């Protein structure tokens, strides 16, 4: 049963990767639709790492940190792509706050990941 759980967690991760990869072929230039499609794939990748953190109990901290870093990087990437498609979004205090939170979380998550090596 545990092996099935681990395979399903890996499957979620792979579906997210395939989703992002397929989107790169469909959306050649940055667009709002392409950004949301990318966001869905990045969410799948993050969910996959989070499920792997739960399913693999040997080193759950490593997968948890990877999930946190992937989530933070996703927030930044999606925010920046949306800003490229509509630059007026950067003037919104909510957008600036989300980007700042994503950048801070990414910094501390990457630092934790490097310390685990």
How far, in Å, CA of 116 to CA of 4, rounded? 27
Length of the chain measured in residues: 117
Angle between helices 93-116 and 60-85 (to 10 degrees): 150
pTM of the model: 0.61
**Per-domain residue ranges for the chain?**
2-116
Q: What is the pLDDT of residues 43-84, one digit of tens each?
A: 888 878 877 776 776 665 677 777 777 777 877 787 777 777
- How big is the chain by its Cα radius of gyration, in Å? 16
How far, in Å, CA of 37 to CA of 70, rounded? 16
Assigned token pair, 53? 């953190």
């Amino acid at each position: 049963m545990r092996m099935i759980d681990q395979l399903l967690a890996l499957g979620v991760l792979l579906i997210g990767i395939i989703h992002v990869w397929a989107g790169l072929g469909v959306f050649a230039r940055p667009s709002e639709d392409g950004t949301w499609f990318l966001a869905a794939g990045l969410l799948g990748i993050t969910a996959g790492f989070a499920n792997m953190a739960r399913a693999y109990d040997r080193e759950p901290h490593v997968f948890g940190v990877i999930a946190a870093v992937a989530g933070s990087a996703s927030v930044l990437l999606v925010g920046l792509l949306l800003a490229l498609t509509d630059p007026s979004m950067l003037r919104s205090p909510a957008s600036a706050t989300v980007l700042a939170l994503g950048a801070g979380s990414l910094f501390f998550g990457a630092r934790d990941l490097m310390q685990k090596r």
